């Protein structure tokens, strides 16, 4: 069996120090172009495959990568508009700091825990996940920085969230100001147990996801201040898919034709609500106002264009990555939202 070629062998053959040879692979901007080319050519001739990841971690204490844990499958991460924007922001900061990104799906807990245990990363980002589960415990056993996005996990090194209560309160107040009095709230999934459909008081009391809890609280606050009782509001828990919310809304409006205001916890759900309203023969915004949440680009192209609460998902992801890769510990950032008034509520 041939002897494995080491970085030291490349350095000797190229006539440079081992540190210079290492920089040619890991920090090429620190090595003169002609020296770097000579080192890489020698490495190719000797059959050197590059620095070993674990050896580099032992030497520098850094893997040069960030682990990102999503609660959903990877197809969702690359198809949901908000998730895509979030990943753009994380990727932007990773590129700026010259580190890589590893995306881990938590859909299958056993696979996720195995991936977390073996991940060569310097820190973890967790998006929209509660802290009472084995996956978070596996991350915490790594004793590496953990930054939460849109969730709150005890002991996290940092947290980046929206002021969801204020954003939802602003959404409800806007529809009240537009004349709506009979409301339906279309909620995102409330906790780990799927229970799509009518959302009773017991289910609302069992919410574990921070986003749902805060947005419900904001909606209810504005509605109650306007004299609208929470028990008089229809609550429906929806999958975050427009096709699903369209079916839910069509059926709801046929059963409850008096509904004149819909508050959706995501633009994806709200876009489906527009389709469901159309199928039920309702006119938006003449006799039904619809409000989304997120401010995604697709909302500008719906008929009518979708009113929404705008968030900057790119900046949210970038800021979370900056926190995870920096020396910030125990920091919490609450990002503001803004009102986007378009045709679905005017």
Residue 230 forms part of a structural domain? yes
96/47 same-domain check: no
Residue 346 forms part of a structural domain? no
**Strand, coil or helix: what is 261?**
strand
What does the DSSP assignment read for 47-60? T-----HHHHHHHH
User: Which CATH number goes with the domain that contains 194?
Assistant: 3.40.50.2300
The strand order across the sheet containing 234-237 reads 197-198, 234-237, 183-187, 261-264, 289-291
State the CB neighbour count (10 A cutoff) for residue 27.
Answer: 11
222/190 same-domain check: yes
322/304 same-domain check: no
Residue entry with tokens 């002991």:
155
Strands 234-237 and 197-198: antiparallel
Q: Which pLDDT score is estimated for 77?
A: 85
DSSP-assigned letter for residue 307: B
Largest interatomic CA distance in the chain: 82
Helix axes of 109-118 and 134-141: crossing angle, nearest 10 degrees: 10
Residue 57 forms part of a structural domain? no
Q: Which pLDDT score is estimated for 130?
A: 67
- Burial class of residue 271 (count of CB atoms within 10 Å of its CB; 0-12, 13-18, 19+): buried
Distance CA 270, CA 282 (A): 15
Residue 343 forms part of a structural domain? no
215/191 same-domain check: yes
Cβ pair 310, 337 in contact under 8 A: yes
202/299 same-domain check: yes
Residue entry with tokens 């609450």:
334
User: Which CATH number goes with the domain that contains 31?
Assistant: 1.10.260
Domain span including residue 22: 7-51
Q: Which pLDDT score is estimated for 131?
A: 60
35/81 same-domain check: no
140/252 same-domain check: no
pLDDT in tens, the chain (346 residues): 456 788 889 999 999 999 898 888 777 778 898 998 999 899 889 888 766 655 555 555 678 899 999 888 888 889 999 999 999 999 999 999 999 999 999 888 888 888 998 888 999 999 987 666 788 888 888 888 999 999 988 888 899 999 999 999 999 999 999 999 999 999 999 887 778 999 999 989 888 889 999 999 999 999 999 999 999 999 999 999 999 999 999 999 999 999 999 999 999 999 999 999 999 999 999 999 999 999 999 999 999 999 999 999 999 999 999 999 987 666 889 999 999 999 999 8
Torsion angles phi and psi, residue 161, rounded to 5: -135, 165
Q: Which pLDDT score is estimated for 211?
A: 94
Whether residue 285 is preceded by a cis peptide bond, meaning omega within 30 degrees of 0, is yes
* Structural domains of the chain, count: 3
What does the DSSP assignment read for 268-283? HHHHHHHHHHHHTT--
**Strand, coil or helix: what is 205?**
coil
pTM: 0.82
Distance CA 63, CA 38 (A): 26
From residue 121, give the alpha-carbon distance in Å to each of 58, 136, 239, 258, 321.
Answer: 13, 15, 32, 53, 13
210/285 same-domain check: yes
Query: Which of 167, 129, 123 is CA-nearest to residue 151?
Result: 129
State the CB neighbour count (10 A cutoff) for residue 22.
Answer: 22
With b for 16 or more beta-carbon neighbours within 10 A and e for fewer, the 163-199 pattern comes to: bbbbbbbbbbbbbbebebeebbbbbbbbbeeeeeeeb
DSSP bridge partners of 263: 185, 291
């Amino acid at each position: 069996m041939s002897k494995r070629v080491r970085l030291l062998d490349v350095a000797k053959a190229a006539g440079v120090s081992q540190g210079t040879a290492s920089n040619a692979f890991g920090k090429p901007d620190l090595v003169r172009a002609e020296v770097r080319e000579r080192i890489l050519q020698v490495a190719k001739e000797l059959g050197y495959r590059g620095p070993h990841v674990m050896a580099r971690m032992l030497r520098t204490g850094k893997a040069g990568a960030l682990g990102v844990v999503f609660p959903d499958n990877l197809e969702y991460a690359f198809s949901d508009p908000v998730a895509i924007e979030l990943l753009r922001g994380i990727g932007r900061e990773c590129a700026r700091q010259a580190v890589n990104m590893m995306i881990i799906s938590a859909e299958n807990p056993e696979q996720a825990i195995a991936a977390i245990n073996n991940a060569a990363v310097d820190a973890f980002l967790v998006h929209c996940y509660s802290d009472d589960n084995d996956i978070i415990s596996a991350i915490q056993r790594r004793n590496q920085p953990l930054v939460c996005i849109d969730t709150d996990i005890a002991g996290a090194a940092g947290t980046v969230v929206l002021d969801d209560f204020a954003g939802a309160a602003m959404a409800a107040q806007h529809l009240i100001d537009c004349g709506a009095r009979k409301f339906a709230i279309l909620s995102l999934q409330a906790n780990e147990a799927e229970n799509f459909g009518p959302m009773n008081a017991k289910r609302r009391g069992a919410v574990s996801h921070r986003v749902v809890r805060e947005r419900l609280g904001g909606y209810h606050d504005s509605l109650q201040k306007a004299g609208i009782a929470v028990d008089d509001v229809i609550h429906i828990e929806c999958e975050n898919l427009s096709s699903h919310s369209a079916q839910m809304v069509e059926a709801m409006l046929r059963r409850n034709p008096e509904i004149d205001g819909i508050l959706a916890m995501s633009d994806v759900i709200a876009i489906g609500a527009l389709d469901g309203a159309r199928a039920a023969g309702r006119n938006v915004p003449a006799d039904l106002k619809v409000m989304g949440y997120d401010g995604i680009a697709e909302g500008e192209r719906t008929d009518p264009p979708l009113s929404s609460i705008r968030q900057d998902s790119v900046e949210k992801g970038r800021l979370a990555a900056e926190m995870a890769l920096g020396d910030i510990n125990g920091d919490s950032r609450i990002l503001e939202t803004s009102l986007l008034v378009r045709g679905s509520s005017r």
